[in-house]
Structure 1
Amino acid sequence: MKKLKLGYAPTRRFTFSAEDAFKYKVQIRKQIESFGMDIDIVDLEGLNPEGLLYDDHMNADLITQRFKEEEVDAVFFPHCNFGTEDTVARVGKALGKPVLLWGPRDEAPLEDGMRLRDTQCGIFATGKVLRRFGVPFTYVTNSWVNDPVFERGFTNFIAAANVVRQFKSLRILQIGPRPASFWTMICNEGELLERFGIEIHPITLVDIQSRSKKIESSGSSELLEVIDYIKEKLDVSEVTEGDIRRIAALKVAMKSYAQETHSSAIAIQCWSSLQEAMSIMPCLANAILTDEQIPVTCETDIHGAITSIIVQAAAMNEHPTFFADITVRHPENDNGELLFHCGNFPVSLSVEQKPRLRKHFLFDDHAPGTHEGEIRGGSMSIARFDGDHGDYSIFLGRAKGIQGPYTRGSYVWVEVNDWPLWEEKLVKGPYVHHSVGIHANVIPAIYEACNYIPGLTADPVDPTEQEIQSWLRGSDLVRKTSASTHA
């Protein structure tokens, strides 16, 4: 996947110190590079002698042209002094990309009473003009360049922008129709395309069966690599060599279709026609692909696949997701719940040195292909994109792993803040029993991303919307600083 490209457009105004603005342009660039994010930065160097956006009407066209030619995914307008609000707004409007607005705190006035920058005042002006132009934007509290709240806000914005760019170019490979009895998996393909630009590329189970058989008999290097991976990472004592080869061939076939169709995620009808046709379950193949950042959802869950991409992108594609049923309450912990699926959680998340490759324990055919075992706990984010009657939202909540009884399949027991509240929200909808988890805090990034996706509403249960906003403002950091000062 290509790196996210950030347009860097530091701005100043002629009435304040050009020298100080240039100094801060350099300092801010060094600071954001120190955050260690794997992004490309496109700046304004060469467009004018200063590499700054200032009150020159030609500036807006030149800057817009550069950022469009470089195909930036988001743009950052740090105010190095008061800034030039009209040019910022023109560029932001022309690009139509996520916008970050921030400026470094102003130093004390000079001894003669003069002020060099008035950055905060300029931010107020730009915020108003961006609203006039109808440009949605993210704002980070006016703070020092090395302040933790700036790092928090900047990195969260980049993650949000990554969600937006992947959501708006989303294509899902659909392998087979939904299981007939799973009405919960009904989705409106036309509406997803019209509302969000999300494309579905359908193929049949016959297509995947045919390609898998060709790969199985080919002895290709990719097939052999997957076979070696399965034998190295899993306990395969309960299955045959033929089973392993068919599972590996299915994985290779699914990936090849995803690459050919430029699909970011896959939704597959995992039962029961596939078992009858190929004598395997696809669970382990799903798990391996999900570990490779091509998330696969079960039971042709299109909305689940969309959720997976949102969650994965919010973690900057640095962590694998896991696709789970929200299944049963913990037998002893009233805020505990079982996240489970038949055997599709990424192998990298397993707590066992060699999780078992087994036959399915629910279906009569007991076809092999389920990767079973508990995955690691710790802090997690749980999400679900869904909708009905033309309204779409994304459920967001925090969970942490806890001890719980053994169960078959891939699983983890978690504890949440208020399970009855979660249950009520999930039952009343528009959500279903499927969710996506990740071992990362992606909730603030997804919340912010929804500001740039018309028609999608963030629906957080924990933390609340007010708590997310407070965290983004850095109110907790202000309280710590204030307490330390008073102490």
Structure 2
Amino acid sequence: MKKFKLGYAPTRRFVFSAEDAFKYKVMIREKIESFGLDMDIVDLEGLNSEGLLYDDHINADQIAAHLKNAEVDAVFFPHCNFGTEDTVARVGKALGKPVLLWGPRDESPLEDGMRLRDTQCGLFATGKVLRRFNVPFTYVTNSRVDDPVFERGFTNFVAAANVVRQFRNLRILQIGPRPASFWTMMCNEGELLERFGIEIHPITLVDIQLATKRIEKGTSAELEEAMMYIKSKMDYSEVTEEDVRRIAALKVAMKQYARSTGSSAIAIQCWSSLQDAMGIMPCLANAILTDEQIPVTCETDIHGAITSVMVQAATMNTAPTFFADLTVRHPENQNGELLFHCGNFPVSLSVEDKPKLKKHFLFDSHAPGTHESQIKGGQMTLARFDGDHGEYQLFMGKARGIEGPFTRGSWVWVEVNDWPLWEEKLVKGPYVHHSVGIHANAIPALYEACQYIPGLTPDPVDPTEREIQAWLRGAGL
């Protein structure tokens, strides 16, 4: 995936200090570079002598064309003094990308009573004109360059914009139809395309079976690398060498299909036709690919695959997701719940040095291929993109790992703030029993991303919408 690109379009207005605006242009650029985000910055240098957006010396068309040609994913308009609101709005409208509005807090007036910047006043003006142009934007509280609230707001905006860019370019590889008895996994492929531009690329289980057989019989470097990974990371004593080779071949086949189709994630019919045809379960292959930032969801859960891409994008793709059933309540903790699936959680999340590669414990075939292990606890985000009747929502809430009884498969017990509230929200919908977890706080970025995705409503349970907004304004700093 290409690196995230941020358009940097600092702005000033002619009646205020050009020297001070230039000083802040440099200072702000240095500050955002210090945050350590994995992104490229596209500025306005070379378009005029100052590299600033102001008046009509460089017009909106030129600036927009410059940023479009650079293929920026979002644009930041720091107001280095009052700013030029009409040009900012025209550029924002022409780009159609997420927009960040912020300006550094003003100093005291000079001894003679003159003021150098009046930045806050300009922010009021630009916000109004952006609304007139129907340009959605993110606003960070007027604050000093070194204030923590600026870093929090800026980094969250970039993460939210990363969610938007990956959502807008989303293609899911669908391997097989949903299991017949899983009506919960129905989705409206046409509506996903029409509403959000999300594409589904379907292939059959026969396609993946033939590709796996071809790779299994060969001697490719990819196959050898996958086998070495399994043998080095897993306790595979309960399965055969042939099983390891076939599981590795399936992983390679799925990755090759994802690459060749330009798919960001995979939804696979993991039971029961696949094990009947190939003699293995895909769980470990799913786990390895998810660790490689190609999340794979079980039971052909298209909405789950969409959620997985959004959630990992909200962390700037720095952490793997895990795809879980919301399974049973904790036997003692009233706010505890079991997150489980047969064996698909990323290997990197295991609490064991050598998690076990086993045979499936539920199905009669007992086919090999499940990766069984408890995963680490700590703070997590749980989320679910889902919809019905033409309405789509994004559920999100925070959880933390807790102790609980042993079970089989991939699993972790978690505690939330008010499980009966969660349960009611999830049962009454439009959600199902599947969720996506990540060991990070992805909620503010997911919440902010929703305002740039028409037709998607954020549905936070903990923290609440008001608490998220307060956090973005600097609560707790």
Q: TM-score range by the shorter chain?
A: over 0.9
Give the counterpart letter for 1:38 in structure 2.
Answer: D
- The match for 1:281 is 281
- The match for 2:82 is 82
Aligned partners of 2:57 and 2:473: how far apart in 1? 33
Aligned residues with identical type, % of pairs: 83
- The match for 2:394 is 394
How far residue 219 of structure 1 moved from its aligned partner, in angstroms, is 1.4
Aligned partners of 2:108 and 2:290: how far apart in 1? 52
Give the counterpart letter for 2:350 in structure 1.
Answer: S
Q: Does 1:265 align with 2:265?
A: yes
Aligned partners of 2:333 and 2:192: how far apart in 1? 38
Aligned length: 477
Aligned partners of 2:475 and 2:461: how far apart in 1? 20
Aligned partners of 1:58 and 1:123: how far apart in 2? 21
- Cα deviation digits, residues 125-171 of structure 1 (max 9, x gap): 00000000000000000000010000000000000000000000000
Q: Does 1:436 align with 2:436?
A: yes
How far residue 61 of structure 1 moved from its aligned partner, in angstroms, is 1.3
Secondary structure of the residue aligned to 1:116 is coil
Secondary structure of the residue aligned to 1:93 is helix
Which consecutive residues of structure 1, in runs of 5 or more, have no partner in the other structure? 478-487
- The match for 2:218 is 218
Q: Does 1:321 align with 2:321?
A: yes
Secondary structure of the residue aligned to 2:340 is strand
State whether residues 57 and 87 of structure 1, in contact with CA within 8 Å, keep that contact through their aligned partners in structure 2.
no
State whether residues 48 and 58 of structure 2, in contact with CA within 8 Å, keep that contact through their aligned partners in structure 1.
no
Matches within 5 A, 1:108-123: 108-123=108-123
Aligned partners of 2:388 and 2:181: how far apart in 1? 18
- The match for 1:101 is 101
- The match for 2:173 is 173
Aligned partners of 1:99 and 1:394: how far apart in 2? 21
Secondary structure of the residue aligned to 1:7 is strand
How far residue 59 of structure 1 moved from its aligned partner, in angstroms, is 2.2
Secondary structure of the residue aligned to 2:460 is strand
Secondary structure of the residue aligned to 2:383 is strand
- The match for 1:253 is 253
- The match for 1:37 is 37
Aligned partners of 1:232 and 1:379: how far apart in 2? 28
Give the counterpart letter for 1:250 in structure 2.
Answer: L
- The match for 1:307 is 307
Matches within 5 A, 1:331-342: 331-342=331-342
State whether residues 64 and 95 of structure 1, in contact with CA within 8 Å, keep that contact through their aligned partners in structure 2.
yes
Secondary structure of the residue aligned to 2:271 is coil
- Cα deviation digits, residues 312-358 of structure 1 (max 9, x gap): 10010000000000000000100000000000000000000000000
- The match for 1:152 is 152
- The match for 1:18 is 18
State whether residues 270 and 282 of structure 1, in contact with CA within 8 Å, keep that contact through their aligned partners in structure 2.
yes
Secondary structure of the residue aligned to 1:107 is coil
Q: Does 1:229 align with 2:209?
A: no
- The match for 1:462 is 462
Aligned partners of 1:390 and 1:168: how far apart in 2? 18
Aligned partners of 2:435 and 2:17: how far apart in 1? 52
State whether residues 380 and 399 of structure 2, in contact with CA within 8 Å, keep that contact through their aligned partners in structure 1.
yes
Aligned partners of 1:278 and 1:471: how far apart in 2? 50
How far residue 52 of structure 1 moved from its aligned partner, in angstroms, is 0.1
State whether residues 47 and 58 of structure 2, in contact with CA within 8 Å, keep that contact through their aligned partners in structure 1.
no
Secondary structure of the residue aligned to 1:311 is helix
Secondary structure of the residue aligned to 2:476 is helix
Aligned partners of 1:2 and 1:68: how far apart in 2? 15
- The match for 2:182 is 182
State whether residues 174 and 300 of structure 2, in contact with CA within 8 Å, keep that contact through their aligned partners in structure 1.
yes
Give the counterpart letter for 1:37 in structure 2.
Answer: L
Aligned partners of 1:455 and 1:328: how far apart in 2? 32
Give the counterpart letter for 1:70 in structure 2.
Answer: A
Give the counterpart letter for 2:105 in structure 1.
Answer: R
State whether residues 11 and 79 of structure 2, in contact with CA within 8 Å, keep that contact through their aligned partners in structure 1.
yes
Which consecutive residues of structure 2, in runs of 5 or more, have no partner in the other structure? none
- The match for 1:485 is none
Secondary structure of the residue aligned to 1:452 is coil
Aligned partners of 1:346 and 1:208: how far apart in 2? 21
* Distance change >3 Å, CA 469–CA 334, structure 1 → 2: same
- The match for 2:52 is 52
Secondary structure of the residue aligned to 1:100 is strand
How far residue 57 of structure 1 moved from its aligned partner, in angstroms, is 6.3
State whether residues 223 and 252 of structure 1, in contact with CA within 8 Å, keep that contact through their aligned partners in structure 2.
yes
Structure 1 moving runs of 4+ over 2 Å: none
Aligned partners of 1:429 and 1:202: how far apart in 2? 27
- Cα deviation digits, residues 340-392 of structure 1 (max 9, x gap): 00000000000000000000000000000000010000000000000000000
Secondary structure of the residue aligned to 1:141 is coil
- Cα deviation digits, residues 83-138 of structure 1 (max 9, x gap): 00000000000000000000000000000000000000000000000000000000
State whether residues 381 and 399 of structure 1, in contact with CA within 8 Å, keep that contact through their aligned partners in structure 2.
yes
Q: Does 1:293 align with 2:293?
A: yes
| TM-score (norm. length: structure 1) | 0.98
- The match for 2:124 is 124
Give the counterpart letter for 2:60 in structure 1.
Answer: A
- The match for 1:415 is 415
State whether residues 376 and 412 of structure 2, in contact with CA within 8 Å, keep that contact through their aligned partners in structure 1.
yes
- The match for 1:206 is 206
Aligned partners of 1:263 and 1:475: how far apart in 2? 38
Aligned partners of 2:220 and 2:24: how far apart in 1? 55
Aligned partners of 1:414 and 1:89: how far apart in 2? 45
Secondary structure of the residue aligned to 2:280 is coil
State whether residues 4 and 40 of structure 2, in contact with CA within 8 Å, keep that contact through their aligned partners in structure 1.
yes
Aligned partners of 1:222 and 1:101: how far apart in 2? 46
- Cα deviation digits, residues 66-93 of structure 1 (max 9, x gap): 1000000000000000000000000000
State whether residues 60 and 91 of structure 1, in contact with CA within 8 Å, keep that contact through their aligned partners in structure 2.
yes
How far residue 62 of structure 1 moved from its aligned partner, in angstroms, is 1.2
Secondary structure of the residue aligned to 1:35 is coil
